[in-house]
Amino acid sequence: MSHLSKSKTKLIARVRRLKGQLEAIERALEAEEPCGVVLNQVASVRGAMSGLTAELIEDHIRNHVSDPDQDDDPERARAAAELIDVMRIYLK
């Protein structure tokens, strides 16, 4: 994932945060906390997973397929920008 050299640190920080959220769920299950609490924690993790996914896919498009800000081909640049926008909506 060579293109990640730049954003690598940021992505790894995100994955670690997710791990921390899972540990909180584990503790909540251990402590037999109310369902509502656990289900809300799980919903947060799902949201965070979607955010991570969207960022990974955007990085992939920008670094390996077409970077809208740098592509010499203006049509492909526009199409890649549209693709990134659509991905964000669908992975929200």
Residue 67 Cβ, how far from a second copy at the closest point, in Å?
Answer: 11
C-alpha pair distances (Å), 31 with each of 24, 39, 44 = 10, 14, 19
Nearer to a second copy, 70 or 86 (CB): 86
Window 32-71: residues binding a second copy (CB under 8 A): 32-40, 42-43, 45-46, 49-50, 52-53, 56-57, 59-61, 63-66
CA 74 to chain centroid, in Å, comes to: 27
Residue 35 corresponds to which tokens in the numbers above? 């369902």
Task: By CB under 8 A, name the one of 6, 25, 67, 72 that touches a second copy.
Answer: 25
- Rounded CA separation 36/56 (Å): 30
List of residues 6+ apart from 8 with CB closer than 8 A = 1
The least CB distance from residue 52 to a second copy, in Å, is: 7
The CA distance from 67 to 63, in Å, is: 6
Q: Interface residues with a second copy (CB under 8 A)?
A: 1-5, 8, 11-12, 15-16, 18-19, 22-23, 25-26, 28-30, 32-40, 42-43, 45-46, 49-50, 52-53, 56-57, 59-61, 63-66, 75-76, 78-80, 82-83, 85-86, 89-91
